[in-house]
Chains A and B, each alone.
Chain A
Amino acid sequence: MADTRRPLSPHLSVYKWQVQMVTSILHRATGIALSVGLLLVAWALIALAGGEERFKHFTAFVGSPVGIILLIGWSWSLFYHLCNGIRHLVQDGGYGYEIVQFVRSSWASIIVSLLLTAAVWAYVLTLGAAA
């Protein structure tokens, strides 16, 4: 049981906003989102194995407005978590800890993940228009 009389840290309210705070919490948030998204992958496979009828239920869900919003969220989550995960791995190797590098790589995770998400959905849209 937590002893709440202890002084609690970090005292987030005294910190000035820094991009590294955002990349850190986003890694956790996208990790949790992706874990839920994995259930969708499992559902897709089970539906595909279960026959055309079952698969139609699945595609109807992912093709619905809610499904598409979720897919956009999951695709960005994957790209962000992937980029920032690589950043984590590089830092685990002991590199990139200079403050300038740390801030720059934070922005790189955010920007590259947004670009990749945009690229994938641009591809989906153009293919959808062509089909």
Chain B
Amino acid sequence: MSAYPKEYRNPLKKARGLGSAQHGVSHWWVQRVTAIALVGLGIWLVTLVLRMLHADYATARALVARPWNAVLLIAFVVTAFWHAVLGLQVVIEDYVHTRWKEATLLMAIKFIAVLATLAGVLAVLRIALGA
């Protein structure tokens, strides 16, 4: 019975995990959802910054402490860093073709973005809660 295959595993077993991880669609979609949110948040941020021109320290702080401003600032920081990480990931995947360099850069960007997001959000909370 020489027709028996030497390998009893189904070829699919080997192929699994090598193909698409199915993350592509959600990456693309979240990039769009954050982009749409950032249209509004971005324009709003510009108006906030313009209102802060020539404001002294106390006035600037009071402006950020207003509930809606605090909420929108946190929304902006979280959304923008998220969108930036997704976007930079595509750029790195396009240009960096050495696997360890690519992985290191992707990780570094995520660490920096998460730390900066947390620090930014905490700062807004401290101002809003008067700490």
Contacts and interface: CB of A to CB of B under 8 A. Distances in A.
B123 A46 contact: yes
Interface string A90-131: 001000000000000000000000000000100110011001
Interface residues of A, number: 33
Contact of A78 (B46, B53, B54, B126): B46
Nearest to B63: A48
B98 interface: yes
Interface string A69-86: 000000100100010011
B110 interface: no
B120 A89 contact: no
Given A85-B35, A92-B32, A124 B53 contact: yes
A1 B126 contact: no
Contacts of A75: 46
A45 B124 contact: yes
A49 B88 CA distance: 28
24 contacts: A1-B97, A1-B98, A31-B87, A34-B84, A41-B80, A42-B116, A45-B119, A45-B124, A48-B60, A48-B61, A48-B64, A49-B126, A49-B127, A78-B46, A82-B38, A82-B39, A82-B42, A89-B35, A120-B50, A124-B50, A124-B53, A127-B53, A128-B53, A131-B54
Interface of A: 1-2, 28, 31-32, 34-35, 38-39, 41-42, 45-46, 48-50, 52, 55-56, 75, 78, 82, 85-86, 88-89, 92, 120, 123-124, 127-128, 131
